[in-house]
Structure formats: structure tokens, C-alpha cells
Amino acid sequence: MWPLIFRDIKLAIRSGGGFALTLSFFLIVVMIVPFGVGANLDLLSRIAPGILWIGALLSCLLSLDRIFQLDWEDGTLEALATSPIPLSGIATAKATAHWITTGLPITIASIPLGYLLNLDINSYMWLFISIALGTPSLSFIGAFGAALTVGVKRGGLLLSLLVLPLYIPTLMLGAQCVSKGTNNHLELLALITAISFLCIALLPLACAIALRANLK
């Protein structure tokens, strides 16, 4: 499985869907907000958790259609389906590669971007941990949506419509965990972690069913 993960990371970087694109989009989303709401530092501090999490969500969404699409177009996905690796394992590898090229850079970049939005000093640790624990669920939910729409031409919009509602629980819990005045950080982190583990455990099987249906 690891060779497949490394291969997908290289393909993501070569095709322009790697670290630079994700971080650039994340930076743009966060930097636009002060221009829209003005230089009110108190307001920026209050809305910073939500903006950072929305930016992380949209940055993950940006490259979801690439998870299976490139392999579908050149026939590699059909070849992988006949390999000894089960389709659920292939889906797990591709979702993991997507997290490494999107979720991991976003997690690291969230700290300096939080500073730009005047995030409360006590919230940085919770921001880092919540995004690190929450972004795996975004990648695996996205992989499921990508598996459903892999055979659809220009399915990017449909993919977004499918996965965005499923992102809402993680978004709400993550933003609440980072918000100033929250006292139940550990409980919220436990819920975020549970969602991620549930997605990692179940969605590769759902991806395998969707891919098998599209490959027929």
C-alpha cells in the first residue's frame, strides 16, 4: 500500500494538486477576510476559528476530484482493481495520500495564518490539534464522493454538493473547539477524533462498492 501512497503523492505534486496549490488557496481564503470585515482586531479574533476551519475545508475540497480521476482516465484504476490489493485498500491509500498533500500542510500552516487573524493566544494549541485530527475525515469523505462521481464528466460540482453537507459536523466541532471561551475542548476533540476514525474504518468499504459499480 505504501508504494501506492508515494506514487499518488508524486502525481499530486506533478499535476499541480500538491502542497503549493493547497497552501496558496488556504492563504488566499484567510487573507481575503480582513479586507472584507475591516481591521477590527476584536472581530477578527472572534471569527478566526470559523474562517480558519472554512479555509481548511475548502482547501481540502479543491483537489478531491483528482483522487481517482487521473487513474480513471488512463486506465490505471482498472489495472489496480485486478491487483492483489482490495479496492478498499486502494481507496485507503489514495485518501491517505490526499491527506498528506492537503491536510498535513494545512495543519502546519494554520498556526501562522491564525496569527494573521489575531487568533487568541490560548487557542493555537486547540487549532493545531483539531485540524490535525479533523482533516483525515475530510479526505476520506472526499474520497467517497470522488469514488461516486469518478465516471461523471465534469463531476467536480456534483462532488462538492455531495461532500459539503457531510463536512458540516467536523466543521462545527472544529470551530467550536478553537473558539475563545470554550471549556470542553477535550470532549470536542474526542468527537472530532471519533468522526475521523469512523470515516477511516467505514468509508474505504463504501468507496470500494462505488468504484466497483463504476468499473462495470
pLDDT in tens, 130-147: 999 999 999 999 999 999
Mind spelling out the 3-state secondary structure of the chain? CHHHHHHHHHHHHHCCCCHHHHHHHHHHHHHHHHHHHCCCHHHHHHHHHHHHHHHHHHHHHHCCCHHHHHHHHHCHHHHHHCCCCCHHHHHHHHHHHHHHHHHHHHHHHHHHHHHHCCCCHHHHHHHHHHHHHHHHHHHHHHHHHHHHHCCCCCCHHHHHHHHHHHHHHHHHHHHHHHCCCCCCHHHHHHHHHHHHHHHHHHHHHHHHHHHHHHHC
What phi, psi does 129 have (nearest 5°)?
A: -70, -45
163 has pLDDT over 80: yes
This prediction has a pTM of 0.93
Calpha distance 49→61 (Å, rounded): 18
Range of lowest pLDDT (133-137, 201-205, 210-214) = 210-214
Calpha distance 156→162 (Å, rounded): 10
Confidence tier at 15 by pLDDT (50, 70, 90):
low
Q: What is the mean pLDDT of residues 143-155?
A: 86
